[in-house]
Amino acid sequence: MWRPHNLGRVNSNGLELTLRYALGILHMEGNLTYTRAIYDGTRVPYYPRWRVNLNSYIRLRDYPIFSVTYVRETDRVDISGKGLPDVGWLDIESRIPVDPHAVDIAQVYIKLRKIMGKEVEWLPPLSERMDERIYVGLILTIR
């Protein structure tokens, strides 16, 4: 079960997740918000899952080509495809289990491409780079 939180603390079944920092609403003019799935106590070891929510004024059907790259330690997960359904979020799961006594840092790179006739345009982030890096730090402690 997903329960999002931003810049807050959630306790669930003995595992405490504290969002360390999250670059505000991120540097894409508020286009992206970052949420964290909490540990449900049913899987050991725990593999972190991340959900990227898109604000309602971004219609995913307007961006039929997308790419998401998730990097955590030596783990790299690439999600890409066409015809993304208009569900408003993307889910990413790491392949490296969490050390509950360590600081967990993840990086996510998100690209959305919009097709304009025969031309393909990248949705420009604030920095006008091809992608915007999103850094979220988590401290996980056993309670």
Domain locations along the chain: 9-138
**Residues in the chain, total:** 143
Would you say the pTM of this structure is higher than 0.85?
Answer: no
Task: Count CA within 13 A, CB hemisphere, residue 75.
Answer: 19
Q: Return the HEC string of 29-72.
A: CCCEEEEECCCCCCCCCCCCEEEEEECCCCCHHHCCEEEEEEEE
CATH of 9-138 given 2.60.40.10, 1.10.150.20, 3.40.50.720, 3.40.50.2300: 2.60.40.10
Computed on alpha carbons and rounded to an integer, the radius of gyration of the chain in Å comes to 16
Each residue's pLDDT tens digit, 76-108: 666 555 544 555 555 555 565 655 444 444 444
Each residue's pLDDT tens digit, 25-52: 222 222 223 334 444 554 455 555 555 5
3-class SS shares of the chain: helix, strand, coil, % to 5: 0, 50, 50
